[in-house]
Amino acid sequence: MRHFDLSPLYRSTVGFDRLFNLLDQATNVDNAPTYPPYNIERTAENAYRISIAVAGFAEDDLAIESKENTLTVRGEKKVSEEAGQREVLHQGIAARAFERRFQLADYVQVTGASLENGLLHIDLVREIPEAKKPRQIAIGGKPAKVLEAKVAKAA
C-alpha cells in the first residue's frame, strides 16, 4: 500500500493544502521524473547546492525560475542548421527538453547559478528574517534581546 488517501484531512483543515499536496507528491514515486539526474547537497549550515547533469546544453538552452516556494529548471536544446545536415548513427547523449521542479522551504532563496563541465550548479541559502528569529523577553520593561539560535536542520 503506497498510496494514502488524504481527502479526510481536507475536510477538517484549512490552509494546509500545500502540505498535503507535498505529501501526495512524495508518496507518488512511480511517476517521478528521472531525467536529468541531480544531486542536492548541504554546503554549510544554512547553504545548499543543487547540481543537475545537463551535458550538451548551453547557457542559452537553460532557464531557471524561482517563484514563491518553487524552483523550476527548464532545458530545451535549440536545433541549429548544422545539426540538421548531420546523420546521427548512435545517440547516447540525451538532449531532450526537460522541466525539473524543486519545492523550497520557507526563507530559502537562490543566490546564484553556474554551468561548468556539464553540470548546472544552483546555490541556495536559508535566511531567516529578524522578525522570525527567537527573542528573549526581559522582565521589568527592558528591551527584548534577539537570540542567535541555530536553525533546525531539515532532513
- Kindly report, residue by residue over 77-121, the tens digit of the pLDDT: 877 666 667 888 888 877 789 999 998 988 899 999 999 999 999
Task: Look at residue 151 and tell me whether its pLDDT is greater than 70.
Answer: no
Q: What is the pLDDT of residues 20-36, one digit of tens each?
A: 777 776 666 556 677 89
| Residues 40 and 91 occupy one common structural domain | yes
Q: What is the pLDDT of residue 64?
A: 96
Q: How confident is the model at residue 3 (pLDDT cuts 50, 70, 90)?
A: low
| Residues 12 and 27 occupy one common structural domain | yes
| Cα separation, 106 vs 149, whole angstroms | 17
| Residues 68 and 2 occupy one common structural domain | no
| Residues 97 and 26 occupy one common structural domain | no
What's the residue count for the chain? 155
Is 70 within the bounds of a domain? Answer: yes
Q: What is the pLDDT of residue 141?
A: 67
Average pLDDT score over residue span 39-62 = 92
Between the alpha carbon of residue 136 and those of residues 131, 139, 145, 152, the distances in Å are 12, 10, 5, 18
| Residues 118 and 85 occupy one common structural domain | yes
Is 153 within the bounds of a domain? Answer: no
Closest Cα partner for 148 from 129, 134, 128? 134
List the end-to-end C-alpha distance of the chain, in Å, as a whole number: 24
- DSSP letters along 83-106, please? HHHS--S---S----EEEEEEPPT
Q: What is the pLDDT of residues 111-149, one digit of tens each?
A: 999 999 999 999 999 988 888 878 888 787 666 565 665
Residue 48 in 3-state DSSP? strand
Q: Which residues neighbour 114 within 8 Å (Cβ) at sequence distance 6 or greater?
A: 120, 121
| Residues 24 and 44 occupy one common structural domain | no
| Residues 54 and 81 occupy one common structural domain | yes
> Tell me, what CATH number does 121's domain have?
2.60.40.790
Average pLDDT score over residue span 11-15 = 66
Closest Cα partner for 59 from 49, 47, 73, 69? 73
Q: Residue for cell digits 544552483?
A: 122
Structure-block grid coordinates of residue 114: 553556474
Is 132 within the bounds of a domain? Answer: no
Enclosing domain of residue 86: 36-126
Q: What is the pLDDT of residue 155?
A: 47
Closest Cα partner for 56 from 83, 85, 87, 84? 83
| Residues 27 and 53 occupy one common structural domain | no
